[in-house]
Amino acid sequence: MKMDHILVRYGELALKGKNRGHFEKLLLANIRHVLKPFPKVQAKRTFGRIVVELNSTDHEPVAAALANVFGIQSYSLALRVENELEAMQKGALFMLTQHPDAKTFKVSARRAYKLFPIDSQSLNHKIGSYVLKAFTGELAVDVHHPDVNVVVDVRESGTYITAGVYAGAKGLPVGSSGKVLHLLSGGIDSPVAAHMLMGRGAEVEMLHFHSPPYTNERAKQKVIDLTRELTKFGRTITLHFVPFTDIQTHIHKEVPSSYEMTIMRRMMLRIADRIARERGILAISNGESLGQVASQTLASMNTINEMTNLPVLRPLLAMDKETTIAYAKRIGTYETSILPYEDCCTIFLPTDSKTKPKRDRSAHFEQYVQVEEKCREAIAGIESLEVTGAHTSPTLDQLF
Ligand SMILES: Nc1ncnc2c1ncn2[C@@H]1O[C@H](COP(=O)(O)OP(=O)(O)OP(=O)(O)O)[C@@H](O)[C@H]1O
């Protein structure tokens, strides 16, 4: 016998009333996205849950892929058998052999298919006593706090037997809350911030500023790799590379070093604002946390934020670095983030950046930067790509 199904339950979705149907469709699409590396596996929506048919594929990698998908409350490995008592008994026994450490169990039969002739009470009894006989002395029944609850779910299409529930990623399906334009650097923080937003249903579209030849091709590949890592939590992600060399060198030449960082960030946000509006995106996000560095003080945020009246979401605002690092390790982005390739923000890194930059001073220095022209040129030079997933994601060689 072999595990042949995974039953997926969704939680918060249920709270969403009339959006439920839409959310279920999104969740199913996102599940199908992460299951693309398993061509034989199929996912279907039935009776308020999603049934994943393994079709002879090993359950472990499939379950691991599902564990990442936002919107899944929990899931269970399942065995499907014919609607016959003997098959149910053998199936329940098989499921219990998957839990060699269990000392107690119970059977919880549910008979959604009322034409099946044995009622759930009798099924509990008949299956329970069969299992007890097979495990003589090793297993006992405990109806209140069993180590394993064997659920026998009788449906018209067959009986699904599960033993154990695994926690899903919870949250909302990616895409259910609309789209956010996310500023993705190659660092530790911004991928974590993106993941948090995805968990609240946001579809993230990535914007990365790069400054060749100061930042190299490997830095670019790193950003693609981080994006690809994030596709495993939901769906394909659009990534835009904005050429920033000209703007940066110009700022470096024309602006006092204490305001370079501020003006550079204001240019980034100006460009992000325009791209978001062009693409009908309602919010911008980044990986800033309060007070970490000169560009992330309240005064700095205030001065930089002047460039947009779209909401700027900062999921990491109140998180300390240690927690962010632990989070990045957990979601699998940390190892890529710490690869030592330059980010454009560090290439002319001034040591005297203002921690309290002013809006009026910034506007004054921007008079020397040809803001309009530079923004237009940068936007015209954008390269965009769709990053679909670990199995199909392109490398730079294939792209440019
Ligand atoms: N080259 C870039 N392209 C796009 N966004 C960027 C870039 N550099 C920085 N950002 C955005 O600005 C935020 C703050 O960047 P900064 O380098 O000051 O801080 P950080 O704490 O090192 O962030 P991270 O770890 O995400 O790089 C980043 O989280 C990211 O959202």
Segment 268-283, tens digit of pLDDT: 999 999 999 999 999 9
Q: Is 341 in the pocket of ligand 1 (CB under 6 A)?
A: no
Q: Do 247 and 374 touch, CB atoms closer than 8 A?
A: yes
Q: Assess whether pLDDT exceeds 90 at residue 107.
A: yes
pLDDT for 15 equals 58
**Is 77 marked within a binding site?**
no
Q: Assess whether pLDDT exceeds 50 at residue 207.
A: yes
109-125 tens-digit pLDDT? 999 999 999 999 999 99
What residue spans in the chain does CATH classification 3.30.2130.30 cover? 5-167
Tokens representing 19?
A: 């959006």
Closest CA to 6 of 166, 235, 180, 174: 166
Residue 182 pairs in a beta bridge with: 206, 285
Nearest CA to ligand 1 atom 6: 185
Arch. (CATH architecture) of 5-167: 2-Layer Sandwich (3.30)
CA–centroid distance, 352 to ligand 1, in Å, is: 19
Residue 189's pLDDT band (cuts 50, 70, 90) = very high
Q: Which residues of 351-363 are buried (b: 16+ CB within 10 A; e: fewer)?
A: eebbeebeeebbe
Q: Assess whether pLDDT exceeds 70 at residue 20.
A: yes
Q: Which atom of ligand 1 lies at the shortest distance from residue 190's CA? A: 26
Nearest CA to ligand 1 atom 19: 288
Mutate to test the pocket of ligand 1, among 185, 197, 215 (most ligand atoms within 8 A of CB): 185
CA–centroid distance, 345 to ligand 1, in Å, is: 8
Nearest CA to ligand 1 atom 29: 287
Cβ-count burial of 56 within 10 angstroms (0-12 exposed, 13-18 middle, 19+ buried)? exposed
Report the relative pairing of strands 5-10 and 72-81 from DSSP bridges: antiparallel
Q: Assess whether pLDDT exceeds 90 at residue 215.
A: no
CA–centroid distance, 331 to ligand 1, in Å, is: 18
Least confident of 13-17, 132-136, 252-256: 13-17
Taking the C-alpha atoms of 367, 370, 374 and 377 in order, what is their torsion angle to the nearest 10 degrees? 150
DSSP 168: -
Mean of all residue pLDDT scores within the chain:
92
In whole angstroms, give the CA distance from residue 384 to residue 98: 47
Indicate if ipTM > 0.95: yes
Q: Assess whether pLDDT exceeds 50 at residue 399.
A: no
Tokens representing 197?
A: 């937003």
**Is 20 marked within a binding site?**
no
**Is 296 marked within a binding site?**
yes
179-399: CATH number: 3.40.50.620
338-379 tens-digit pLDDT? 998 777 777 777 788 888 999 999 999 999 999 999 999 999
pLDDT for 394 equals 45
Q: Is 208 in the pocket of ligand 1 (CB under 6 A)?
A: yes
Q: Assess whether pLDDT exceeds 50 at residue 398.
A: no
Q: How many CA atoms lie within 13 A of 183 on its CB side?
A: 24
The whole-number average pLDDT for the span 22-37 is 93
CA–centroid distance, 190 to ligand 1, in Å, is: 6
Q: Assess whether pLDDT exceeds 50 at residue 243.
A: yes
In whole angstroms, give the CA distance from residue 146 to residue 290: 47
pLDDT for 234 equals 80
What residue spans in the chain does CATH classification 3.40.50.620 cover? 179-399
Cβ-count burial of 213 within 10 angstroms (0-12 exposed, 13-18 middle, 19+ buried)? exposed
Q: Assess whether pLDDT exceeds 90 at residue 393.
A: no
Phi and psi of 292, rounded to 5°?
Answer: -65, -50
Q: Is 183 in the pocket of ligand 1 (CB under 6 A)?
A: yes
Q: Which atom of ligand 1 lies at the shortest distance from residue 293's CA? A: 18
Residue spans of beta strands (DSSP E) within the chain: 5-10, 42-46, 49-53, 72-81, 104-111, 140-141, 148-155, 158-163, 166-167, 179-183, 203-210, 237-243, 283-285, 312-313, 383-387
**Is 265 marked within a binding site?**
yes
Do you know the residue count of the chain? 400
